[in-house]
Amino acid sequence: MKPILMGKAFLFGNNIDTDQIYPGRFVELTDAKDIAQYAMHGVDPEFITKVRDGDIIVAGTNFGCGSSREHAAITLKEVGIGAIIAESFARIFYRNAINLGLPLFICPHISTLIQHNDRVSIDVFTGVISNASGPLAKAEPLSEYVVHILESGGIKPLVKQQLEERS
């Protein structure tokens, strides 16, 4: 994992639910490439034509609330989202994203500090968030366990290693 994540900000509001991130009627798709076609479709069907590798989603509270569908995290990772910074995350979305190796940062008031299309950077280890005019805020530090999962490229390689050691 890169120590500094940098990208263009896409700004969203509070309570962006998983039906907006990835509508229910597309949940039958199972391959990441297909799932990527509908990222943020419920909020902005044109999102996938605008997003670039490494871009950062910035949102208000309770991002990812609603369904447990891992598709919501898969689609954002697959379109190249480098990190999501929100004022809070729904619990299942948080686990899903970290499990897939998509870094999430919790930072109070961040949706009022960053503008749509700002160039944003976040220091993974210090949590310092900056835009072109300098440092803006500090995200809550990631727990050791979360860093361990992210540095392993997600939880699957970790569990694989654990299962191999056992056998």
User: Judged by CB, which is closer to another protein: 55, or 70?
Assistant: 70
What phi-psi label fits residue 117: left (phi over 0), alpha (psi between -120 and 50 degrees) or beta? left
Assess 163 for contact with another protein (CB under 8 A). yes
Q: What are phi and psi of 24, to 5 degrees?
A: -55, -30
SS3 helix, strand, coil % of the chain, rounded to 5?
35, 20, 40
User: Judged by CB, which is closer to another protein: 117, or 143?
Assistant: 143
Provide the minimum distance between the beta carbon of 95 and another protein in the complex, in angstroms, as a whole number: 6
- List the end-to-end C-alpha distance of the chain, in Å, as a whole number: 29
* Contacting another protein within 83-122 (CB under 8 A): 88-92, 95-96, 99-100
d(C-alpha 56, C-alpha 10), whole Å: 6
For residue 85 the two structure tokens come to: 């910074």
**Piece in contact with another protein (CB under 8 A), picked from 23-31, 107-115, 116-124, 128-136:** 23-31
Q: How many Cα atoms are found within 13 Å in the side-chain-facing hemisphere of 72?
A: 28
Provide the minimum distance between the beta carbon of 134 and another protein in the complex, in angstroms, as a whole number: 30
Contact letters for another protein, residues 43-82 (x by CB under 8 A): ------------------xx--xxxxxx--xx--------
**Piece in contact with another protein (CB under 8 A), picked from 13-21, 47-55, 124-132, 133-141:** 13-21
For residue 144 the two structure tokens come to: 């050791």
User: Judged by CB, which is closer to another protein: 27, or 48?
Assistant: 27
β-pair type (83-86, 104-106): parallel
Binding residues vs another protein (CB under 8 A): 14-15, 17, 19-20, 23-25, 27-30, 42, 61-62, 65-70, 73-74, 88-92, 95-96, 99-100, 143, 145, 154-156, 159-160, 162-164
